């Protein structure tokens, strides 16, 4: 029975709506951040190994590509965080009216960019 | 360790709640880490407070990631056999990463 259970989401049969994109993007950022957490572990491991290994990271961290990736990671963290808070509200049945769902979605996009810019400017 | 689905669901949300302040703390530290020299980062982790927060954040983050990835696999991977392989892989990665983080932090505190 468990083999034949319906699997979600049936992406191809539904009309593409903005709320679905918010949900899919939450999962995509979640996977990205999971990979990021492994890289953070690798970073602390390099530090623990000693200065010569740390300077290997230092050389990479000074490149523009690294800075762009770090900025995108910041965007991903803040998006996942704010959207996660939105889901926590939904857990308690709050903010689930269609109009509120859309407006909170737009608010999350705004807050994501705002928080990322503030984090990089400070 | 086997959990039922409701335990996983609650654990996912509880870890999310703990991650909210910890993420803010780390992200603001993380950006300044770019400019830190080795000695400065070593000094940062010499502080028990910073090490405790970092280790706590990483443990909670890895549990949260593991639960999230398992949910995604359950939703998108059709084959039960493949699901088991993926879940085992996630468990292995989580354990190795945890060992790496805890070992590294202890080494940084001791030295």
Q: What is the ipTM of this complex?
A: 0.88
Chain B residue numbers with beta carbons less than 8 Å from the beta carbon of A81 are: 19-20, 23
pLDDT tens per residue across span B23-66: 989 887 877 777 778 888 888 888 889 999 999 999 999 999 99
Contacts of A55 in chain B (CB under 8 A): 38
Averaged pLDDT, B8-21: 92
Q: Distance between the two ends of chain A, CA-based, in angstroms?
A: 55
Q: Is the pLDDT of residue A3 over 70?
A: no
Q: Which of B23, B45, B75 sits opposite A77 (nearest CB)?
A: B23
- pLDDT confidence tier of residue B19, bands split at 50, 70 and 90: very high
What is the C-alpha to C-alpha distance for residues A26 and A87, in angstroms, rounded to an integer? 10
CATH C-level class of A19-121: mainly alpha
Domain residues of chain A, as ranges?
A: 19-121
Contact with chain B for residue A111, Cβ under 8 A? no
CA B31, chain centre distance (Å) = 19
Q: Which of B31, B65, B78 sits opposite A37 (nearest CB)?
A: B65
Residue B100 to residue A44, Cβ atoms within 8 A: yes
Burial class (CB in 10 A: 0-12, 13-18, 19+), A30: buried
A25, A39, A41, A51, best to mutate vs chain B, most B CBs in 10 Å: A41
Task: Output the pLDDT for position A121.
Answer: 85
Compute the distance between CA of residue B29 and CA of residue B50 in angstroms, rounded to an integer.
10
Q: What CA–CA distance (Å, rounded) separates B41 from B66?
A: 28
Decide: A60 and A66 in contact? Cβ < 8 Å.
yes
Best CA proximity match to A111, nearest among A69, A81, A70: A81
Structural contact between residues A108 and A86, judged by C-beta atoms closer than 8 angstroms:
yes
Question: What domains, with CATH codes, occur in chain B?
Answer: 5-110 (1.20.1300.10)
Q: Does B8 touch chain A (CB under 8 A)?
A: no
pLDDT of residue B1 exceeding 60, the answer is no
Question: DSSP string of chain B?
Answer: ----HHHHHHHHHHHHHHHHHHHHHHHHHHHHHTT--HHHHHHHHHSHHHHHHHHHHHHHHHHHHHHHHHHHHHHH---HHHHHHHHHHHHHHHHHHHHHHHHHHHHHHH-
Question: What's the pLDDT tens digit per position in B64-87?
Answer: 999 999 999 988 888 889 999 999
pLDDT tens track for A65-92: 988 998 999 999 999 999 999 999 998 8
Tell me the whole-structure pTM to 2 decimals. Answer: 0.86
């Amino acid at each position: 029975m468990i083999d034949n259970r319906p699997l979600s989401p049936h992406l191809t049969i539904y009309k593409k709506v903005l709320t679905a994109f918010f949900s899919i993007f939450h999962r995509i950022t979640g996977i990205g951040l999971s990979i990021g957490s492994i890289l953070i572990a690798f970073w602390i491991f390099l530090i623990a190994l000693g200065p010569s290994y740390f300077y290997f990271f230092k050389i990479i961290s000074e490149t523009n590509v690294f800075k762009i990736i770090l900025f995108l990671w910041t965007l991903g963290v803040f998006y996942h965080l704010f959207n996660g808070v939105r889901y926590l509200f939904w857990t308690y049945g709050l903010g689930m009216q269609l109009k509120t769902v859309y407006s909170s979605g737009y608010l999350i996009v705004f807050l994501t960019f705002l928080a990322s810019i503030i984090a990089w400017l400070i | 360790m086997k959990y039922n689905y409701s335990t996983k669901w609650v654990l996912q949300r509880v870890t999310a709640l703990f991650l909210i302040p910890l993420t803010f703390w780390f992200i603001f530290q993380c950006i300044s880490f770019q400019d830190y020299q080795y000695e400065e980062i070593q000094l940062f982790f010499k502080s028990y407070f910073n090490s405790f927060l970092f280790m706590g954040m990483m443990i909670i983050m890895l549990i949260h990631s593991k639960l999230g990835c398992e949910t995604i696999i359950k939703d998108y991977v059709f084959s039960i056999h493949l699901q088991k392989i993926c879940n085992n892989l996630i468990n292995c990665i989580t354990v190795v990463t945890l060992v790496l983080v805890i070992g590294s932090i202890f080494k940084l505190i001791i030295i």
